[in-house]
Amino acid sequence: MSSPSHFSLLVVDDEPDLRTLYELTLLREGYDIETAGSVEEALLHLKDRTYSAVITDMRLPDGTGLDLLRKLEEGGRREKAIVITAYGSAENAVEALKAGAYDYLTKPVDLKQFRAVVASALGRAPSTVPTMVPSSLPSEHQATVAAGSATAPRPRTPPPPPPPPAAPASAALARMAGTSAAMQEVRSLVEKVARSMAPVLVNGESGTGKELVARAIHEVSPRSNMPFIAVNCSAIPEQLLEAEFFGYRKGAFTGATEDREGFFQAANGGTLFLDEIGDLPLSMQSKLLRSIQERSVRPVGAVSEQSVNVRLLSATHKDLGAEVLLGRFRQDLYYRLNVIQIRVPPLRERLEDLAAISEHVLLRIARDANVVPPPRLTRDALVHLARYPFPGNVRELENLLHRAVALSGDEAIDVFDLGLPETVFTDSAAQELDLITENTRIDPAVLAPEPPPAPPAAAPLPDDLAAFLDEVERDILLRALERHRFNRTAAGASLGLSLRQMRYRMARLGVSVGGDSFDGDRGT
């Protein structure tokens, strides 16, 4: 890791006292500092050299910090940007993050948090050297410095530094299988948003892989070696939410026999992923909003807050904009979470990725089960899968392939191993029926499915319904077999059944055809 002297910072603020305060604080950390009082002056500095990071106030005499961010973006520069906004100006903070800022701070600036954010942007640990307060600063700024450097009445744990990534970005992104335009866009967004601290809202239907996207953001980011804590908000009882999120102190309630950290403390220095954020009750939403704004949490039963350094990612299958209009989700929290949105498309919108996803899943199943060689889908099975709507998306596909591998016992997984409804025929099934029709001279019209005959309206009610229905089904099967010269494939097709389903029903009902002394598809 680079030493502090290798980091050069540009501080932009139009107030000389604050510039001095920031400069002294960062010099004590060992950074090389230059300052500017306006957008124009900052651009002159940027024209001459490259910096590790730019720290800018939002309001400047000749523009705003957003103007400076846009210039950095237009120039393709790699400096991390930290924006300082007025207290309570959530809109400016959100705009700064959307414009590409790494992070933001609110005035009055807590210097301990200031040092931590700068260190996080540069991927190093903040030192514990106390900041000296220059006597020339106005009293209000001295008070701010004292609060950040002296021992405060409430304990604040310095957030641990995020180390540089341990694995190349391609490893994390490779798990998102598929080359469709939709997935390429998702990968591109993941790589962009991973560079900043901006909150990300991952939106998509259940089973599309929202947590996979969140994990990729974490693993591509500088926080990859720090904790990734995933929380399913809909799975925690409402009365336990606060304790689970923020932790608790011994004796805070019945059963609290020892201090315990919450999700925020566990994710300190890393990433906290809140899945199904739309299911949080309103009471918890307000507490979460405060933690996001203040970057601190107060455990249940504690009297002081703890600082936390957490990158927040969230996901939902709901339309949070509509939930806001219905009064079920706080608008201010929605704007805080929805700084950058990544939509994960459902599987039916990217069927061109089906083969790659299936291969990826089958390789993983084979690796977990020590199966060699890994199973593969036949062409007919893949075509059959492509005709299925997949309401459960990729998760449903994974479950389906797990079942097929377990039941097939073969290297090749065919149509009948999938267990899907036989709503349409695969190409091979259609060709097989054409061959049967040609060889047996059957009129193609008779292959059309026909509904079973309804019982007479005046028929008496049966004493044993199951036995009655079995008898009706047995009669229908026999009639279909006789009509199609005891060809089970053609008879099943006329009833909307696959060959596998036809064999199962014949075995269950005890329907035998000539002792079953014929080949797999044709009677003798």
**Residue 253 scores a pLDDT above 90:** no
Higher pLDDT, 514 or 392: 392
In Å, how far are 183, 228, 231, 244, 340 from 215, measured between CA atoms?
15, 8, 12, 21, 16
Residues 6+ apart with CB under 8 A from 236: 244
What average pLDDT does range 76-83 have in this prediction?
86
Beta strand segments in 294-446, E: 296-297, 306-307, 311-316, 340-343, 376-377, 412-413
Looking at residue 241, what is its pLDDT? 92
Q: What is the CATH topology of the domain spanning 348-418?
A: Helicase, Ruva Protein; domain 3 (1.10.8)
Higher pLDDT, 112 or 128: 112
Looking at residue 211, what is its pLDDT? 92
Higher pLDDT, 274 or 4: 274
Concatenate the DSSP letters of all residues of 159-203 into one string: PPPPPPPSS-HHHHHHTS---SHHHHHHHHHHHHHTTS---EEEE
The conformation of residue 155, written as its DSSP 8-state character, comes to: -
**Homologous superfamily in CATH for domain 4-149:** Response regulator (3.40.50.2300)
Nearest CA to 120 out of 164, 62, 157, 173 is that of 164
Looking at residue 421, what is its pLDDT? 62
In Å, how far are 180, 213, 240, 396 from 347, measured between CA atoms?
11, 15, 35, 10
Q: How many CB atoms lie within 10 A of CB 261?
A: 15
Higher pLDDT, 15 or 174: 15
**Model confidence band, residue 158 (pLDDT cutoffs 50, 70, 90):** very low
Chain-centroid distance, C-alpha 369: 26
Higher pLDDT, 290 or 120: 290
Q: How many CB atoms lie within 10 A of CB 85?
A: 22
* In the chain, % of residues over pLDDT 70: 79
Looking at residue 251, what is its pLDDT? 85
**Residue 345 scores a pLDDT above 80:** yes
Is residue 165 within 8 A of residue 224, CB to CB? The reply is: yes
Looking at residue 282, what is its pLDDT? 92
Average pLDDT, the chain: 79
The conformation of residue 341, written as its DSSP 8-state character, comes to: E
**Residue 164 scores a pLDDT above 50:** no
CATH class of 169-345: alpha beta
Angle made by CA atoms 304, 307, 308, in degrees to the nearest 5 = 135
Domain map of the chain by residue range?
4-149, 169-345, 348-418, 427-516
Burial of 114 (0-12, 13-18, 19+ CB in 10 A): buried
Q: What is the pLDDT of residues 369-426, one digit of tens each?
A: 787 788 888 888 888 888 888 889 999 999 999 888 887 777 888 888 887 765 443 3
What average pLDDT does range 22-42 have in this prediction?
89
Whats the size of the chain, residue-wise?
524
Q: What is the pLDDT of residues 447-461, one digit of tens each?
A: 344 555 555 556 678
Domain with residues 427-516, CATH architecture: Orthogonal Bundle (1.10)
**Residue 485 scores a pLDDT above 70:** yes
Q: What is the pLDDT of residues 264-307, one digit of tens each?
A: 999 998 999 999 999 999 999 999 998 888 888 999 988 888 88
Is residue 417 within 8 A of residue 381, CB to CB? The reply is: yes
Q: What is the pLDDT of residues 419-440, one digit of tens each?
A: 776 544 334 444 443 443 344 3
CA end-to-end distance (rounded Å), the chain: 79
Do 169-345 and 348-418 show the same overall fold? no
The conformation of residue 260, written as its DSSP 8-state character, comes to: B
Q: Find where tokens 């900043």 sit.
A: 196
Is residue 8 within 8 A of residue 49, CB to CB? The reply is: yes
